[in-house]
Chains A and B, each alone.
Chain A
Amino acid sequence: MAFAGRRDVPEPPDFGILKRLARDQLIYLLEQLPGKKDLFIEADLMSPLDRIANVSILKQHEVDKLYKVESRPAISASDQFCFLVRPRIKTMRYIADIVNADKMSGRSRKYKIIFSPQKFYACEMVLEEEGVFGDVTCDEWSFYLLPLDEDIISMELPEFFRDYFLEGDHRWINSIARALQLLNSLYGPFGKAYGIGRCAKMSYELWRDLEEESEADGQGRKPEIGNVFFMDRDTDYVTALCSQVVYEGLVDDTFRIKCGSVDFGPDVTSSDKSIKVLLNAQDKVFSQIRNEHFSSVFGFLSQKSRNLQAQYDRRRGMDIKQMKNFVSQELKGLKQEHRLLSLHIGACESIMKKKTKQDFQEMIKAEHSLLEGFDIRESTSFIEEHIDRQVSPIESLRLMCLLSITENGLIPKDYRSLKTQYLQSYGPEHLLTFHNLKRVGLLTEQSAGETLTAVESKVSKLVTDRAAGKITDAFNSLARKSNFRAISKKLGLIPRVDGEYDLKMPRDMAYVFSGAYIPLSCKIIEQVLERRGWLGLEEVVRLLNGNEFSVSGSTSAPG
Chain B
Amino acid sequence: MSRARADEEEYWHSSKFRAFTFDDEDDELSQLKESKRAVNSLRDFVDNDDDDDDDLERVSWSGEPVGSISWSIKETASSSTSSLEGRDSSLRKGSSSYAAFPRQVSSYSLSSLFKGRNKLPSFQSLSDALSDTGFKNYNPELRRPKAEYKDYSNDWSPKDTVRRMQRGKVCSLERFRSLQDKLVLLDEAVAGHDGNVITAVLIFLKRTLRREILFRELEVRQVALCHLIHFLKETGEQKLLLDLLRFLDRTEEVALSQYREHLNIQDVEKRREFLKGCIGLPFSSEDTSHIQDHYTLLERQIIIEANDRHLETAGQSEIFRKYPRKASILNMPLVTTLFYSCFYHYTEAEGTFSSPTNLKKTFKIPDKQYVLTALAARAKLRAWDDVDALFTTKNWLGYTKKKAPIGFHRVVEILQRNNAPMQVLQEYVRLVEDVETRLNLATKYKCHDVVIETYRDLKDRIQLTAYKCKVERGSAEEDKINSILNNMQIRWKN
Choice from B73, B113, B125, B235 contacting A21 with Cβ under 8 Å: B113
Contact yes or no, A276 B256, CB < 8 A: no
Task: Give every chain A residue within 8 A of B73 (Cβ-Cβ).
Answer: 41, 46, 66-68
Task: Give every chain B residue within 8 A of A389 (Cβ-Cβ).
Answer: 372, 410
Task: Give every chain A residue within 8 A of B263 (Cβ-Cβ).
Answer: 429
Q: How would residues 122 to 142 of chain B score, 1 for a CB under 8 Å from any chain A CB and 0 otherwise?
A: 110111100000000000000
> Given contacts A55-B68, A273-B61, is CB(A501)–CB(B126) below 8 Å?
no
The reply to whether the CB of B446 lies closer than 8 angstroms to some CB of chain A is no
* Least Cβ–Cβ distance between B196 and chain A, in angstroms: 5
Contact yes or no, A273 B223, CB < 8 A: no
Q: List B219-261 residues whose CB lies under 8 Å from chain A.
A: 219-223, 226-227, 229-231, 233-235, 256, 259-260
- Chain A, Cβ-Cβ closest to B90: A65
Task: Give every chain A residue within 8 A of B55 (Cβ-Cβ).
Answer: 336, 339
Contact yes or no, A121 B200, CB < 8 A: yes
How far, in angstroms, from A553 to B104 measured CA to CA in the complex? 42
How far, in angstroms, from A90 to B64 measured CA to CA in the complex? 27
The reply to whether the CB of B13 lies closer than 8 angstroms to some CB of chain A is yes
* Least Cβ–Cβ distance between B187 and chain A, in angstroms: 9
Q: How would residues 112 to 136 of chain A score, 1 for a CB under 8 Å from any chain B CB and 0 otherwise?
A: 0000001111101111100001100
Contact yes or no, B22 A170, CB < 8 A: no
* Least Cβ–Cβ distance between B433 and chain A, in angstroms: 15
Q: List A399-446 residues whose CB lies under 8 Å from chain B.
A: 416, 419-421, 423-429, 431-432, 435
Contact yes or no, A309 B38, CB < 8 A: yes
Contact yes or no, B16 A21, CB < 8 A: no
Number of A-B contacts (CB under 8 A): 367
Task: Give every chain B residue within 8 A of A302 (Cβ-Cβ).
Answer: 31-32, 34-35, 38
- Chain A, Cβ-Cβ closest to B263: A429
Interface size bucket, B side? 35 or more
The reply to whether the CB of B399 lies closer than 8 angstroms to some CB of chain A is no
Contact yes or no, B29 A352, CB < 8 A: yes
Q: How would residues 21 to 54 of chain B score, 1 for a CB under 8 Å from any chain A CB and 0 otherwise?
A: 1111000110111111011101101100010101
> Given contacts A169-B230, A429-B263, is CB(A276)–CB(B333) below 8 Å?
no
> B residues engaging A (CB < 8 A)?
12-13, 15-18, 20-24, 28-29, 31-36, 38-40, 42-43, 45-46, 50, 52, 54-57, 59, 61-65, 67-73, 76-77, 80, 91, 94-95, 97-98, 101, 103-104, 106, 108-111, 113-114, 117-123, 125-128, 163, 165-168, 192-200, 203, 219-223, 226-227, 229-231, 233-235, 256, 259-260, 262-263, 286-287, 290-291, 293-294, 297, 331-336, 363, 365-366, 368-369, 372-373, 406, 410
> A residues engaging B (CB < 8 A)?
17, 20-21, 24-25, 27-29, 32, 41, 46-47, 49-50, 53-56, 58-60, 62, 64-68, 75-77, 88-90, 118-122, 124-128, 133-134, 137-142, 163, 167-174, 202-203, 205-206, 209-210, 263, 265, 270, 273-277, 293-295, 298-299, 301-302, 304-306, 308-309, 312, 332, 335-336, 338-339, 341-342, 345-346, 348-349, 352-353, 355-356, 360-361, 368, 384-385, 388-390, 416, 419-421, 423-429, 431-432, 435, 459, 462-463, 467, 470-471, 474-475, 495, 497-503, 514-516
Q: List 20 A-B contacts (CB under 8 A).
A: A24-B109, A24-B111, A55-B67, A68-B73, A118-B168, A119-B168, A122-B231, A125-B203, A133-B128, A134-B123, A170-B193, A298-B29, A345-B39, A346-B36, A368-B17, A390-B336, A428-B333, A470-B223, A501-B18, A503-B18
